[in-house]
Amino acid sequence: MNLDRRLITLVREHPVPFVTSVIAAVFATLALIAQAWLICRTVTILFLEPSSMADLPVFLAAFGIVSLLKTALNWYSAREAARGSETLRQLLHNRLTAAISRLGPSFTASRRSGSLATTLQQGVEALDPYFSQYLPQLFISVLVPGAIAAAILPRDLLSGTILLCTAPLIPLFMILIGKAAQNMTRQQWQSLTRMSGHFLDMLQGLTTLKLFGQSRSRAGSIEEISEQFRTSTMNVLKIAFLSSLTLELVGTIGTAIIAVQIGLRLMAGALDFQTAFFIIILTPEFYQPLRQLGTKFHAGMEGSSAAEDIFPIIEASEESRTQAAGGALVDDAQPVTFNDVSFTHPGSDHAALQHISFTLEPGTTTALVGPSGAGKTTCMNLLLRFISPSAGSIITGTTDLAEIDRQNWQNRIAWIPQHPWLFHTSIGENLLIARPDASREELMQAIDNAGLHSFIENLPDGLDTVVGEQGTAISGGEAQRVAIARAFLRNAPLLLLDEPTSHTDPELEESLQHSLRQLMQNRTTLVIAHRLSTIMDADAILVLENGHITASGTHDTLIRQNGYYRSAVRTTGGNAS
């Protein structure tokens, strides 16, 4: 019956709109029964009981009032179901975005961004028919036919028995057809997410495709994936039309049986006209909720398929959620220690880090060097709490990071990545991401410290200038300055630098180094760097190779030892990788 336990649990958190919707629908059915009786009585008076003509205005007025009441109740039922659906979709959207935020970059990097965006937007919206139509209809399909059968059975046992015997055929056929429809809908949803992810990949890599002359061939692949989506959609529609035909046929046959036996008994004088007319009017209404259940079953099936992508994300984030112990953070002056830490990426047999131990002393600078793939970025991600150790622990003072609230810990960190992300908004808003409550004076001081003042002054709208998606409107060097200004504004005790000057020319590097040296003062700093100018003044240098720390010391001590560090410096003429 397409009942997802997780979606039902969500409904239980806010049941009032749905309960109200069903109750309103039941009262609308009672109004329908009253309406049918009033019609029968009116027709009987007009053609069979002219002596009761004086009562006709009363019945007509009552019929009008009941009709208006029925219309209002149906409208209210639909509105309450829509209100409940909106509440649950908003709740689910908030939980999904929070889950993605908790899982962090390590999770989003493992998913196609287009597929993730489709799940976040279309996936949540696809649940609207499930909540607002299918779930209320599920209860209405039990209660409404029950109420109509209760109205018919005392008047005609045979007709009531026929209705009760034929009614289960509709959900039976719906279940049988629904099994195939569910698989088809799941394939359709997977085709949609795959098409969205592929299309976004093509847009993001359009420059590369043009340069290599592959844009036309990739357009062909988009056409192929679109055709797969069209085919899967048509398969779903075929099943839906077959289901509708079957359900309509069962309902029509049931109505025909009732009509034939009512007609025969009416002509034989075994049934009075008013009762026969009453049953004939209500019989289609008896089957109508069951037929609608089949239709709304298909309408809500896409949402059920989307839930298969939504809830694993939420459940994964719940598993990784870390609760704060006592709600208190350790003092900023405490050292941060990696204690026999190992880490293996999910799905990999190769450990990215193996039993590494080192300490970041307060107010000192520690540099990580090593070849690509040695585990430097993994160390950084562990400190940022984007991932958690597979074994071992990271301790600040005497407290394990696993016992500290993730967000509170990240608030103590300023991070300058190799490729800072700038959002499609103003420079001012991009800077205030680091600390939204910063004052104007603090913002301008951070801009001055990062060397951005003259650049912003020359922009047409100053701080209100929109930089474009990923900062396309400014140079890479200025984007790095924006990242440095963010770190100044953050004013956190722990500073993480991920190769901040690796793709800059010597003149720009020197300028950025001046700002970075000022930023690093009196802060505990971990820096990943390849250039000698970045790491030679570090208080400690750690050499990582194949997930192991193979050497440690200062520049002066390591350059005298045979090993990776001296070899890298001599080979590259001042580049430690």
Topology given in CATH for the domain delimited by 336-572: Rossmann fold (3.40.50)
Contact present, 134 and 294 (Cβ < 8 Å): no
C-beta atoms surrounding 348 within 10 Å: 9
pLDDT above 90 covers what percent of the chain? 31
CA distance 535 to 178: 64
* Torsional class of 397: left (φ above 0), alpha (ψ -120 to 50), beta (otherwise): left
CA distance 305 to 39: 44
Contact present, 244 and 292 (Cβ < 8 Å): no
β partners of residue 344: 351
Domain-by-domain residue ranges, the chain?
85-319, 336-572
Closest CA to 141 of 11, 247, 56, 242: 247
CA distance 504 to 501: 6
Sheet holding 391-396, edge to edge: 351-360, 336-344, 391-396, 399-400
Instruction: Say what the pLDDT of residue 339 is.
Output: 93
How far, CA to CA in Å, does 201 sit from each of 128, 133, 222, 332? 28, 35, 11, 42
Pick the CATH number of 85-319 from 3.40.80.10, 1.20.1560.10, 2.60.40.1260, 3.40.190.10: 1.20.1560.10
Contact present, 529 and 522 (Cβ < 8 Å): no
Instruction: Say what the pLDDT of residue 204 is.
Output: 67
3-state secondary structure of 399: strand
Closest CA to 434 of 498, 493, 490: 490
Q: How confident is the model at residue 54 (pLDDT cuts 50, 70, 90)?
A: confident
Compare 413 and 328 and report the one with higher pLDDT. Answer: 413
Q: 98-129: per-residue pLDDT in tens?
A: 888 877 777 777 677 777 777 777 788 888 98
**How does DSSP assign 463-531, residue by residue?**
GG-B--GGGTTS-HHHHHHHHHHHHHHH--SEEEEESTTTTS-HHHHHHHHHHHHHHHTTSEEEEE--B
Distance of CA 296 to the CA centre of its chain: 24
**How does DSSP assign 168-185, residue by residue?**
THHHHHHHHHHHHHHHHH
pLDDT at 227 over 90: no
Structure tokens at 498: 């991920």
| H-run or E-run covering 238 | helix 215-267
CA distance 159 to 157: 6
Amino acid at 407: Q
Amino acid at 295: T
- Give the range among 136-145, 214-223, 310-319, 422-431 with minimum mean pLDDT: 214-223
Sign of CA pseudo-dihedral 548, 552, 557, 559: positive
Amino acid at 484: I
| H-run or E-run covering 394 | strand 391-396
Instruction: Say what the pLDDT of residue 395 is.
Output: 92
Closest CA to 291 of 166, 429, 464, 117: 166
Longest Cα pair distance anywhere in the chain, in angstroms? 121
Closest CA to 470 of 186, 257, 207: 207
pLDDT at 476 over 60: yes
Instruction: Say what the pLDDT of residue 257 is.
Output: 92
Closest CA to 240 of 190, 305, 297, 155: 297
Instruction: Say what the pLDDT of residue 279 is.
Output: 93
Most confident of 76-80, 162-166, 383-387, 466-470: 76-80
Q: How confident is the model at residue 21 (pLDDT cuts 50, 70, 90)?
A: very high
pLDDT at 491 over 60: yes
Q: How confident is the model at residue 205 (pLDDT cuts 50, 70, 90)?
A: confident
Structure tokens at 478: 């200025």
Closest CA to 358 of 339, 344, 342: 339
Compare 248 and 441 and report the one with higher pLDDT. Answer: 441
3-state secondary structure of 338: strand
Mean pLDDT of 314-338: 67
